[in-house]
Chain A
Amino acid sequence: MGRIIALVSGKGGVGKTTITANLGIALAKRDLNVCLIDADIAMANLSLILNMQNSPITLHDVLLGEAGMQDAIYDGPAGVKFVPSGLSLENYRRVDSERLQTVIDSIRNQFDFILLDCAAGIEKNVLAALSASDEVILITSPTSPSIADVLKAKITAQRIGCKPIGVIINFVREEKGEIRKDDVMKLLELPVLVSVPWDDEVRKSFMQEHVMPVMIRKPGSPAAVALQKAAAKLAGIPVKIEETKGSGLGGFLNKLFSIFKRKPKAAEAKK
C-alpha cells in the first residue's frame, strides 16, 4: 500500500510545487512507482513545471464525477505519473474537494508514493488534501514569515489527523540572518529532511523553450542533489547522486573540443 504524502507550506512562494515535482522525479528515478497529484485545485501549476499543461482530463473532472481517476493519470517525465488539476475557474467553483480522499484512496495500491502538491494557506482545499493524506512534509524558507505560516500549517495538519514527518528548508543561501536548521527543528519539533540551497538552475529550468524540471535538466545541480538526498531519506534507500550529463572537467573539455569539431555551416550546407 502506497504512502500518501501532502506537501504544504502555509505561505505561498516557498517552492512547494517545484519541490513536489523534483522530489517525485527523484523517487521515480530510483525505480519507485510515484504519482504526483496537483491538489492545488484553484491555482494549479504543477502541470506547467512538468510541461504537461495540455492534459484533457483533470482532477476537476474526477471530483465532479465526470471522469474516472484512471483516465486522469498521465505519464510524466522519468516514469513519474501525474494527475493534473484543471485551469477552469468555473469548474473550480463546482468541485467538491471533500471527495479527494475517496478518489486518492482508489489509486493507493498502484503506487509506492503519492505526493500531493497543496495550495498555499490552510483553507478548505488544503484541509481536503491533508485529510486525504497519511503524512505531511512541511516546506519553508529560512525566513520569519515563512516559519510563522509553516507553524500554522503543522498545527492544522495535526488537527486534521495528518502526521507531519519532516521539514524541507528551501532557498538556503547560508546568510547570517537566515533561521538556522537547528531553530527550525526545535520550533517545529520535526526533523529537517534536507536544506535545499538557492540554485539558479531551478529558475533557469522554467526559462526554456520546453520547460523541464531541474531534476531532468541538471540532476547534478545543488538543489537537485539535495532533493535526491531527501528522496533517498524518504524512501529509506541509500543515496545515489546522479550527475548532470556533460558536467565536471570531462564535460568542460568535451564542450571545448566540440567547438573545434564543429563543421562550418557553409560546408554543412553544401553537403
Chain B
Amino acid sequence: MAVINSVKKIFGAFAKAILDIDDTSRPVQHLEFFRDYSDKFNFDTGTDDAQKFLNELKKKHLVDDIVVASFNGGAILSTNGNSVSRALSGAALFNYVHSELPKSESLMIKSNGWHMIVPYNKKLYIVKATSDLSNIELKALAKEIESFLLRTA
C-alpha cells in the first residue's frame, strides 16, 4: 500500500508540474495582514505594576474602564481617576439588586455604553465597555485581576 501511495504521489506531482494543473500561489498579502493583526494582540500582563497591568487588561478584554471594589464601596484598584465614586455607586447598586434578587450573578446596565458589575471572591468588579461582555468574560477578567492581586500582595 505504501509503495502504491508513493507511486501515486510521484505521478500526481509530475502531472501537476507538466500540465500546470496547480495554478495556485501563497496569499502573501493575507499572511502579512494576519501578522500585523496578530501583533496587536500581544499583551504584557506579567508586570507587577498595577496601572500597567490594568491598562494591558483593558486592551486584552476590549473594555474602557475597570474598577475593583469591596462590597462596602471601598476602591481597591482602578483604571481611571474617579474610582472612589464609581466604587461607591457600583457597590450600592449591586448590594441593592442583590438584596432584591439574592441569586444575582452579575448586573448589566445599558446607558451610554455598558456598565457591568460582577462579584468574584469577595470583591466587586465594575467594568465599563462599549459592548456587553458575557458573564463568562467578566469572570475571566475578574479571575485575572484576582491572580494579579495574589501575585503582587
Residues of A within 8 A of B (CB): 98, 124, 127-128, 131, 144, 147-148, 151, 155, 159-161, 175-180, 183, 186-188, 220, 222, 247-249
Contacts and interface: CB of A to CB of B under 8 A. Distances in A.
18 contacts: A98-B136, A124-B136, A127-B136, A127-B137, A131-B139, A147-B34, A151-B34, A159-B60, A160-B140, A161-B143, A176-B25, A176-B26, A177-B25, A178-B26, A187-B35, A188-B38, A247-B1, A249-B1
Contact of B31 (A131, A155, A160, A183): A183
Main secondary structure on B side of the interface with A? helix
B70 interface: no
A180 B135 CA distance: 37
Interface in B138-153: 139-140, 143-144
Contacts of B139: 131
Contacts of A247: 1
B136 A176 contact: no
A176 B134 CA distance: 41
B61 A159 contact: yes
Interface residues of B, number: 24
Contact of B41 (A148, A155, A222): A155
Contacts of B38: 151, 187-188
A124 B134 contact: yes
Contacts of A220: 1
A98 B135 contact: yes
Given A183-B31, A187-B34, A247-B1, A177 B24 contact: yes
A151 B37 CA distance: 9
A248 B1 contact: yes
A147 B38 CA distance: 11
Nearest to B41: A155
B22 A175 contact: yes
Nearest to B29: A144
A6 to B, nearest CB: 13
Interface of B: 1, 5, 22, 24-27, 30-31, 34-35, 37-38, 41, 60-61, 134-137, 139-140, 143-144
Given A177-B25, A178-B24, A188-B38, 15 more contacts: A98-B136, A127-B134, A128-B136, A131-B136, A144-B30, A147-B34, A148-B37, A159-B60, A159-B137, A160-B140, A177-B22, A177-B26, A178-B26, A179-B27, A187-B34
A96 B136 CA distance: 12
A155 to B, nearest CB: 5
B54 to A, nearest CB: 15
B27 A144 contact: yes
A179 B33 CA distance: 13
Contacts of B144: 161
A222 B4 CA distance: 13
A249 B4 CA distance: 10
Contacts of A186: 35
A187 B38 CA distance: 7
Contacts of B136: 98, 124, 127-128, 131, 160
A98 B106 CA distance: 13
Contacts of A127: 134, 136-137
A124 B134 CA distance: 7
A155 B143 CA distance: 17
Nearest to B105: A98
A87 to B, nearest CB: 24
B16 to A, nearest CB: 8
